[in-house]
Amino acid sequence: MRIYDNLTEIQGYLNQRKRSGDSIGLVPTMGALHEGHMSLINAARACDVVVVSIFVNPLQFNMAEDLKKYPRQLAKDKEFLKDRCDVLFVPTVNEMYKDAPKVSIDFGSLGSILEGEFRPGHFNGVGVVVAKLINIIQPDTAYFGLKDLQQFLLIRQMVTELSMPVNIVGCPIIRESTGLAMSSRNVRLSDAGRVIATEIFKGLQMARQLVKNNCTISETKSQILGFYRSVKGLEVEYFEFVDDSMIIQSKIDHQANIAVCVAAYVEGVRLIDNLYLRSEN
């Protein structure tokens, strides 16, 4: 595995590979790698060169405390990636943002609901860093996890609207055997916290079942929010049904591809998850 922290050097190497006709797959991450990331890397093996980036992007954190507490374990991540990817890109903040960026990416109404509502400025930061990583690496394909469903849909929109020459692939959520969605933030949970956090997915599964049994969205929301309130140590921030354009749904449209999305705190750790109503898992 080649490791670069310098923009010019990684570009030099990748340009050489591109000239030889190799395709490039990019897996952007913020580190604290787990099996969820591994599934993105496995998908990226469809390309000749797999590039993983690790960069805890300060621009996408709206709370200084959250940025400070974000798990960082570079030595462990390098060990995890050894023999699993071809190139690791670990730029410093100074390498990525020599000056504080003045350009911002506004996703309009799609970026101001759910995550955007509760984390003001978050998607601007995601948009800027993903656009920058795509411009630096110039991958044929970039891979993102569907646990961050809104992020995936907004990135796909950005790439389409700005005619960025890259394919965007969304990879399914990887769950622990308990159903808990894998996330870098899970390392901050105690064993007891992990048990509480498994209730998040249970609520999503219950919601899907209620809708199957013809419950309306408002009935389902009130039952599931009641269930979540009954779980000691779980504090829900939002629980919403959205379609593939990230429009919040108030009625079930059986033709639409609807997902139910949730954000909740357990032991001060913010966790998100979602489930498509049509999915079987």
- The distance of closest approach from Cβ of residue 171 to ligand PAF in the complex, given in angstroms and rounded to an integer, is 11
Based on the shown chain and the rule CB under 6 A, indicate whether residue 115 belongs to the binding site for ligand PAF. no
Q: Give the residue, chosen from 32, 130, 149, 207, that forms a contact with ligand PAF under the rule CB under 6 A.
A: 130
> Site map for ligand PAF, 54-83, x if CB under 6 A?
---x--x-----------------------
- The distance of closest approach from Cβ of residue 203 to ligand PAF in the complex, given in angstroms and rounded to an integer, is 23
Based on the shown chain and the rule CB under 6 A, indicate whether residue 180 belongs to the binding site for ligand PAF. no
Using alpha carbons, list the distances in angstroms from residue 239 to 33, 55, 218, 220, 221: 27, 29, 11, 10, 7
Based on the shown chain and the rule CB under 6 A, indicate whether residue 146 belongs to the binding site for ligand PAF. no
- The distance of closest approach from Cβ of residue 80 to ligand PAF in the complex, given in angstroms and rounded to an integer, is 15
Q: Please provide residue 213's backbone torsions phi and psi, each rounded to the nearest 5 degrees.
A: -85, 20
Per CB under 6 A, the segment of 65-73, 125-133, 232-240, 253-261 that binds ligand PAF is: 125-133
Q: Give the residue, chosen from 129, 153, 196, 224, that forms a contact with ligand PAF under the rule CB under 6 A.
A: 129
Q: Is 34 a catalytic residue?
A: no
> Site map for ligand PAF, 194-233, x if CB under 6 A?
----------------------------------------
> Site map for ligand PAF, 148-167, x if CB under 6 A?
x--x----------------
- The distance of closest approach from Cβ of residue 160 to ligand PAF in the complex, given in angstroms and rounded to an integer, is 17
Which residues does 184 contact at the CB level (< 8 Å), separation at least 6? 30, 31, 32, 33, 34, 70, 71
- The distance of closest approach from Cβ of residue 53 to ligand PAF in the complex, given in angstroms and rounded to an integer, is 7
Terminal alpha carbon distance of the chain: 35
Nearer to ligand PAF, 151 or 220 (CB): 151
259-266 and 234-242 strand pairing: antiparallel
How far is the C-alpha of 271 from the C-alpha of 256, rounded, in Å? 26
**Residues near ligand PAF, by CB under 6 A:** 28-30, 57, 60, 126, 129-130, 148, 151
What is the set of active-site residues? Answer: 37
